[in-house]
Amino acid sequence: SQTIHQWPATLVQPVGSPLSLECTVEGTSNPNLYWYRQAAGRGLQLLFYSVGIGQISSEVPQNLSASRPQDRQFILSSKKLLLSDSGFYLCAWSRGGASISPLHFGNGTRLTVT
Amino acid sequence: KQEVTQIPAALSVPEGENLVLNCSFTDSAIYNLQWFRQDPGKGLTSLLLIQSSQREQTSGRLNASLDKSSGRSTLYIAASQPGDSATYLCAVRSAQGGSEKLVFGKGMKLTVNP
């Protein structure tokens, strides 16, 4: 069966510090991978998605970047965090090449920028 | 641009009631619609996925229906229990904007009182 791992679960970082959140998927190959952010009072905002190694699509221009160094690894990064980067970050995957495939989420990372 | 709406934003009911949660979308050319549950501080758990060719899906006490022509889906919860308390989100995957992405509603917070 497929599983998705996301870490850390919580993170408190000062403004201006770097960020690296990691997500890995097990039990499947060539998945589509996604980073979402959920801010208080707002819906889920798609930040990045990837359909393959090195292929990253950015949905919202901002202070963040994403990379996919391996087939089942997706990393969300920032060089300098802003207060507005605080939120709940969720990684997700779906079966690659199948628009009918369901989306599965990790447990999320609660990021607080102070 | 696909937009997904969930009304009301919150609902509080006594235990035992049969519930109907609503989801509407603006573009009926969808691949599928997915219902999720989110507990506080947690990731999203997939409940039901309805493909565009289907009218409904059932899992235990949950039944989801889809009416593409009217741009609506409902999630029916039978005999609600306090453990059903959570935020329920619907999301659609449509051809508009690329099939790799889902568009989410903002969710409906359900409280079932014992």
Q: Which residue has the higher pLDDT, A15 or A99?
A: A15
Report d(CA B7, CA A98) in Å as an integer. Answer: 30
Is pLDDT of B61 > 90?
Answer: yes
Instruction: Please give the share of chain A, as a percent, with pLDDT higher than 90.
Output: 75
Is the pLDDT at A40 greater than 90? The verdict is: no
Query: In this predicted structure, what is the pLDDT of residue A50?
Result: 93
Burial class (CB in 10 A: 0-12, 13-18, 19+), A7: middle
CA atoms within 13 A on the CB side of B57: 16
Nearest to B100 by CA among A95, A104, A36, A45: A95
User: For B104, which of A43, A100, A107 is closest by C-beta distance?
Assistant: A43
The whole-number pLDDT of residue A98 equals: 63
List of chain B residues whose C-beta atoms are within 8 Å of the C-beta of residue A6: 43
d(CA B56, CA B37): 18
pLDDT on residue A67: 96
Whether B49 contacts chain A with CB within 8 A: yes
Chain B residue numbers touching A106 (CB-CB < 8 A): 43
Neighbours of B51 (CB within 10 A): 14
Over residues B53-63, mean pLDDT: 95
pLDDT digits (tens, 9 = 90+) for B5-50: 999 999 999 999 999 999 999 998 888 999 999 999 899 999 999 9
**Angle value at C-alpha B52, between B48 and B57, nearest 5 degrees:** 30
CA pair distance A91, A25, nearest whole angstrom = 10
